[in-house]
Amino acid sequence: MYLRKLLWILFIFLPLALGAETLLELQKELLRNNPEISAARNRYLAVTKVAIQEGTLPDPAISFTDFGVGHPFSTLNASDFAYRGIGVSQDFPFPGKLSLRSQVAKKSAEAAQQELRATEIRLLSELKTSVVEQFYLQRALEIQAKYRELLDHLIETSEARYRVGEGLQQDVLRAMVERSSIEEKLLLLRQDLERESSAINALLSRDVSAPLKAEGDFPALRPVPEFEALVQKLSEQAPEVVVRRKQEEQSQLQLRLAKKERYPDFTTTFQWQKTGSEFPDYYMTMVEARIPLYFWRKQKSAIAQAQLELKAIQDQTKATLLRLLNELKQAYVTATTTATLTKLYNEGIVPQSRLSLESALSAYQVGKIEFVSVLNNATTLLNYENESLRRSADHGKAIARIEQVTGTLLDPQESAMIKELEP
């Protein structure tokens, strides 16, 4: 009876309540404190300041002229030709150039905004993956520790049976070897748990050695959207795809701008000239045009360059879309398969294995089966419980990967959180 109670405690999972931080709290801290996100946000904000600069006229120039006769800086009345003048000049690009330059900068800002969004979703996915793995390791440690307790009790039982001549020394030794292997597994699990905690702390910009435990348990198995719907979301919302499309639009504008460079820019100059006191003041207005005389070497080559760059970014857009579709398919297959396997383990294999072990324990207590059968049943149940955890963790990771690839957070709370923290 005692063994049955111990076994029941061993293999019933209770939700973790570690008094620590929830996944949502960790995500908020990530968005606030992660330096990579901060860098991407500042790059985006910096690029938004470029459009107004590119759309503004060049700075005007002010000039001062002292026209002397006979020697420099001669007095005005010394010669009828001497004068001093003050002028101002302004460059005017050909109509449409400033507008195109401003539009190019705006497309660059839009691409930077999508790069910020891609960075946020990627790091949120990495955080989810690490937290899910931490959940798995914490639970695996609990299972192994409980299994060690069961082995301790089995060792005591087998030693007692051996002392009264009802058991074999081989049973005791076999149980001790199994217990030693559990210690090895516990050590490796603690090592992996420390590594995941370090990764989470690094994402949160904390001390990597700080202790960390996430509160909660594996996210509940959620239905995975249809693959066709995910493909549509990827095509429309995936930040990497949107970035490429913005860059493509930017390249199209740069091609238009390169063609505009075949037309001349202008400079206008106005100057006031002061002559001697006996003469009236003079005013001079001048207009200059910069002729693209060497267009076959400069403008023609610039247009060809812009055309090639546009073709390159179009091909890059296609390559990015194909790569992401492949990644989405793999994540989708993993998510759907692990969801089915987790349900199979939790509703069929694990409960059946638990009943099998309970039956073996009862039979062993009355001497109907050998100790090795009990040990094999316990090991089998341990492996199935661990496999169930592993598949649950893989499902959570696959969901995080789907969110990263499609650029869509499936949890409305997370979507609202990102909008709140947008610059």
Q: Tell me how far apart the terminal alpha carbons of the chain are, to the nearest angstrom.
A: 62
Q: Write down the pLDDT at residue 167.
A: 57
Q: Write down the pLDDT at residue 328.
A: 93
Q: Write down the pLDDT at residue 422.
A: 63
Quick one: which of 151, 217, 181, 225 has its CA closest to 389? 217
Is the distance from CB of 94 to CB of 274 less than 8 angstroms?
no
Distance of CA 367 to the CA centre of its chain: 59
Whether 119 is in a domain gets the answer yes
Q: Distance between CA atoms of 124 and 35, rounded to whole angstroms? A: 13
Q: Distance between CA atoms of 299 and 302, rounded to whole angstroms? A: 5
Whether 395 is in a domain gets the answer yes
Per-residue pLDDT of the chain (423 residues; tens, 9 = 90+): 333 333 333 333 333 333 356 788 888 888 888 999 999 999 999 999 999 998 999 999 999 887 777 666 666 666 667 777 899 999 999 999 999 999 999 999 999 999 998 998 899 989 988 888 888 888 888 888 888 877 777 777 666 666 656 556 666 666 677 777 788 888 888 888 888 888 888 888 888 877 776 665 566 666 788 899 999 999 888 999 999 999 999 999 999 999 998 999 999 999 988 777 677 888 899 999 988 888 888 888 989 999 999 999 999 999 999 999 999 999 999 999 988 888 888 888 888 888 887 777 777 666 666 767 777 777 888 888 888 888 888 998 999 899 889 988 877 777 777 677 666
Whether 196 is in a domain gets the answer yes
- Tell me the DSSP string of 250-290: HHHHHHHHHHHTTSPEEEEEEEEEE--TTS--EEEEEEEEE
Q: Find the radius of gyration of the CA atoms of the chain.
A: 37
Total Cβ atoms within 10 A of residue 123: 20
Which residues neighbour 226 within 8 Å (Cβ) at sequence distance 6 or greater? none
Quick one: which of 57, 60, 111 has its CA closest to 254? 111
Q: Write down the pLDDT at residue 18.
A: 32
Is the distance from CB of 400 to CB of 125 less than 8 angstroms?
yes
Residue 77 gets which letter from DSSP?
G
Q: Write down the pLDDT at residue 168.
A: 60
Residue where the block lists tokens 């994402």: 203
Whether 148 is in a domain gets the answer yes
Whether 391 is in a domain gets the answer yes
Domain at 307, CATH number: 1.20.1600.10
What is the domain range of residue 168? 2-57+92-262+300-420
Q: Distance between CA atoms of 197 and 134, rounded to whole angstroms? A: 7
Whether 342 is in a domain gets the answer yes
* Token pair listed for 216: 């909660």
Count of domains observed in the chain: 1
Whether 269 is in a domain gets the answer no
Is the distance from CB of 94 to CB of 263 less than 8 angstroms?
yes
23-33 and 412-420 are packed helices; what angle lies between their axes, rounded to 10 degrees?
A: 30
Q: Write down the pLDDT at residue 16.
A: 33
Whether 276 is in a domain gets the answer no
Is the distance from CB of 106 to CB of 51 less than 8 angstroms?
yes
Q: What is the largest CA-CA distance in the chain?
A: 138
